Amino acid sequence: MAVTALTMSFLMVLSNISAASSMGEYEAYIQKTGPEIVKLYCTKPYDQGHQHVNAECALLQTLLLTMNVTGGPFLDGAINSIKTIIVDQINTTNSADFFTIFPLTYSVDMLNDKKLLPVSLFQDLQVFADKTFESTTTMAPNNQDLQRAAGLLLAARTFPTSSKVKDWTNDAVNVWTMLCENQDITENAPNYNRIDFVYLWILRDELFRAKDSVKHFSLKDCSFLNMFRRFRNQVSPAGVIAAYGDSGSSNSQISAFTNTSNWAWNNPWAGFVVGFERAAKEYNDATLRYVALKMFQTGSTRQPLGVGYSDVSDMMRFCFVTFWRDYDLTPENPGLTGGELLVRTDNFGKRQSQDKIILRGGIGGNSPYLLSDIYSDVLPI
């Protein structure tokens, strides 16, 4: 299997980390869980229809984010995987799916920044990007659009001589502009929201990092604090968000702590932890740190990553928490009790819509909790 070289080097690097290293709970979890995810991915590869492209890219980015690139076997494996899995498919691949663009470009950018990527391979990758990285038109940006926009904007910086730079940048600015008009994400499903929570910040960071190159666009910043507090209020005392919307199945029993739903991630905690931690730092809101840690403590023990082979993508996103969390911000229990009607901004900021009804019996982990999803994008308040 083509992934073998990268897999073996991934495990070797992880096994050589000193157990005495100074790490927070997130870093320690990444170190412990990384090998489990790689082994599982290798025994049950997914994305076979795409020749492992996006899974390979997710695996590569995970390694680059969690380890220092030191060359040797790892570097050889990474380079070989990029060439074998990506570049060699240039004649058979017409379009890279939205999952692939960001992790591939991020990995290329990291290796190139460290001057570890051969010039000839970088040139081949630009040819691949020119051919397969396509912008799109969207009316309501969802997780696919966010992932694609973040990847395309990063590609515009990584491959500045590409003829598609303006189109890639325009796609990213359009998605961000629509997000700012709404100051909320459009999807009503934790399964997708966990992705939105991470790529929203990645897109924002990359836009304002590249603001000189997008100066011909009207770029503005905006606050998503109300959105993050709306999701904060959905976290149960036990530390989970219920599997409403397109995040569970009515045809099978749904449990917050077991994979009994048709979706294998009815408590998609990892992405929420990352987004909450970044929002806590951005808005200096200690209550967002509290729910991030609560979801991490519950999710990592009762529904840990490394039990499903698609966990490689969750781990890839989870790694960003090591950059974004603020350990100096002391978590603060929001102390939410009683009943609450949540509302959300909708229709690109033009109306308020009813979202969730929540009933709480207390703030302790075993307190009763009820969430009713009443959101409709066609029935405003």
Q: Which one is predicted more confidently, 17 or 271? A: 271
pLDDT in tens, 274-312: 999 999 999 999 999 999 999 999 999 888 887 766 677
pLDDT in tens, 106-160: 888 888 887 878 888 888 889 889 988 988 877 778 899 999 999 999 999 999 9
pLDDT digits (tens, 9 = 90+) for 185-235: 988 999 899 999 999 999 999 988 876 655 555 667 789 999 999 999 999
pLDDT number for residue 92: 65
What's the alpha-carbon Rg for the chain, to the nearest Å?
21
In this prediction, residue 333 has a pLDDT band, given cuts at 50, 70 and 90, of: very high
Burial class (CB in 10 A: 0-12, 13-18, 19+), 347: middle
Q: In this predicted structure, which of 104-113, 338-347, 372-381 has the lowest mean pLDDT?
A: 372-381
On whether the CB atoms of residues 316 and 103 are closer than 8 A, the answer is yes
pLDDT for residue 348 is more than 80: no
Checking if the pLDDT of 54 tops 60, the result is yes
pLDDT at residue number 158: 93
The reported pLDDT for the residue numbered 52 is 52
Q: How many CA atoms lie within 13 A of 338 on its CB side?
A: 5
Identify the pLDDT of residue 225. Answer: 95
55 pLDDT exceeds 90?
A: no
Angle at CA 315, nearest 5°, toward 265 and 244?
25
Average pLDDT of span 342-370: 83
Q: Is the predicted pLDDT of residue 9 greater than 50, yes or no?
A: no
Query: Mean pLDDT over residues 4-12, rounded?
Result: 43
Six-digit token string for 212? 């000189």
CA neighbor of 197 nearest in space, from 321, 105, 310, 312: 321
> Which strands form 369-373's sheet, in the order they lie side by side?
338-346, 351-360, 369-373
pLDDT at position 213 is 59
Closest CA relative to residue 254, chosen from 303, 304, 316, 311: 303
| Range of weakest confidence among 92-96, 193-197, 337-341 | 92-96
Of the pLDDT bands very low, low, confident and very high (cuts 50, 70, 90), residue 355 is: very high
Phi and psi for 336 in degrees, rounded to 5? -80, 130
Residues in the chain: 381
> Would you say residue 255 has pLDDT above 60?
no
Q: How confident is the model at residue 251 (pLDDT cuts 50, 70, 90)?
A: very low
Contacts by 88-97, CB closer than 8 A, 24 or more apart: 89/51, 89/53, 90/124, 90/127, 90/128, 90/131, 90/132, 93/53, 93/128, 93/131, 93/132, 94/131, 94/132, 95/132, 95/134, 96/53, 96/128, 96/129, 96/132, 96/133, 96/134, 97/50, 97/53, 97/54
Amino acid at 322: T
DSSP E strand stretches across the chain? 338-346, 351-360, 369-373
Position with higher pLDDT, 61 vs 360: 360
Choice between 178 and 56, residue whose per-residue pLDDT is larger: 178
Cβ–Cβ under 8 Å, residues 271 and 198: yes
Give the H/E segment covering residue 75: helix 72-81
Range 178-182, long-range pairs (CB < 8 A, 24+ positions): 178/138, 178/140, 178/141, 178/348, 179/141, 179/222, 180/220, 180/221, 180/222, 181/348, 181/349, 182/345, 182/346, 182/347, 182/348, 182/349
